Amino acid sequence: MSCGDEIVLHVNDKGKLVYSGSACSLTFASAEFLCREVEAQDAGTVDIRALQKKMFEEFEMSEEDKRATCVLLPFRALAVMQSELRKV
């Protein structure tokens, strides 16, 4: 099932993880959370699962919440980014 949200993560020229795209407020809030949390870490090696758990706690949500797909989208984008970095 697709809601139409799109989010892209990349590392800018200052080495900071940033996002862009067209998405709902929950997806953008999750992307902002993710970029903030990754700021002091290497985006290529950060523990996505641990950050997801922290985000669910901060957002007072669970993985079973019907809007969980919205908040997980930036994490999926980070997983793709990490996969691409491993190929290099």
Q: Which fold has domain 6-82?
A: Sufe protein. Chain: A (3.90.1010)
**Domain map of the chain by residue range?**
6-82
Using a 10 angstrom Cβ sphere, with 0-12 exposed, 13-18 middle and 19 or more buried, the burial of residue 25 is exposed
- Indicate the pTM of the whole model: 0.87
pLDDT in tens, 21-75: 999 999 999 999 999 999 878 888 899 999 999 999 999 999 999 889 999 999 9
Q: How far apart are alpha carbons 30 and 27 in whole angstroms?
A: 5
pLDDT in tens, 62-74: 999 988 999 999 9
